């Protein structure tokens, strides 16, 4: 059985690559720093990456993890300040991502965008060694229609299994869906870099919520009816 983990940023990808992927033999496609192609997806037994809908038609099963959109956006911005090696996570850095159009587009409504669009593979492959540009370009997802209805249709049409970041049994549930008997459940706990010692999340909560309005609508709908 071939599996695709549609990795929405800041939703436990490190755990899945470290503890889930080794349970699958054969070719795999995983991580940020490698080129991708449809041929790669066709041959792989396990795929995990920020590849949008591209691999869905080549695999037997797709799953993804959804995270509260506001927490995801805040964690993502903080993460980008850290991995860049050039910036301090502070109020100015946060405001840059909230108020500059291109950057705000890249870090808001992230769940729904990854569930609604495919990646431009040529552009993606040119950026594999520049994580900041890749992230700031929304991983070269080509977003044509951004609506809850379209995202729900994509989930249904591609038979995407949904798991939730906040669930205490997230990893046990993923193991069960994949037919894996057991494994770690508390290591690499989903992206704990969310810790906000400066009170910025609360201060900018309203702005973050307004920017994530459509993602919050999707999240609530799927949370209330996870088998959409």
- Domain that includes residue 193, residue range: 3-224
Give the CATH number, domain containing residue 153: 3.40.50
* pLDDT on residue 160: 97
* pLDDT on residue 122: 98
Q: How many CB atoms lie within 10 A of CB 9?
A: 23
Phi and psi for 175 in degrees, rounded to 5? -55, -45
Tokens standing for residue 20: 């889930």
Q: Measuring CA to CA, which residue among 149, 129, 161, 148 is closest to residue 63?
A: 161
**Residues, the chain, total?**
228
Are the C-beta atoms of 28 and 16 separated by less than 8 Å? no
Give pLDDT tens digits along the chain (228 positions).
899 999 999 999 999 999 999 999 999 999 989 999 999 999 999 999 999 999 999 999 999 999 999 999 999 999 999 887 778 899 999 999 999 999 999 999 999 999 999 999 999 999 999 999 999 999 999 999 899 999 999 999 999 999 999 998 999 999 999 999 878 776 555 555 667 878 999 999 999 999 999 999 999 999 887 554
* pLDDT on residue 55: 98
Domain count, the chain: 1
Q: How far is CA 162 from CA 165, 175, 204, 206, 222, in A?
A: 10, 13, 28, 27, 8
């Amino acid at each position: 059985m071939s599996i695709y983990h549609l990795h929405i940023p800041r939703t436990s990808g490190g755990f899945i690559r470290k503890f889930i992927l080794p349970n699958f033999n054969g070719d795999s496609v995983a991580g940020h720093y490698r080129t991708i192609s449809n041929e790669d997806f066709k041959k792989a037994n396990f795929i995990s990456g920020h590849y949008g809908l591209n691999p869905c038609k080549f695999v037997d099963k797709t799953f993804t993890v959804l995270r509260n959109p506001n927490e995801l956006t805040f964690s993502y911005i903080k993460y980008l300040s850290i991995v860049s090696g050039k910036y301090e996570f502070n109020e100015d850095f946060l405001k840059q991502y909230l108020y500059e159009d291109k950057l705000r587009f890249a870090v808001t409504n992230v769940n729904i965008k990854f569930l609604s669009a495919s990646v431009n593979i040529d552009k993606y492959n040119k950026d594999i060694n520049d994580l900041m540009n890749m992230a700031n370009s929304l991983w070269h997802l080509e977003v044509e229609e951004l609506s809850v209805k379209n995202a729900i249709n994509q989930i249904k049409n591609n038979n995407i299994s949904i798991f939730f970041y906040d669930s205490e049994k997230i990893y046990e549930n993923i193991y069960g869906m994949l037919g894996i008997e057991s494994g770690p459940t508390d290591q690499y706990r989903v992206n704990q870099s969310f810790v906000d010692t400066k009170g910025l999340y609360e201060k900018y909560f309203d702005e973050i919520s307004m920017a994530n309005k459509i993602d919050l609508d999707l999240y609530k709908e799927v949370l209330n009816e996870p088998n959409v």
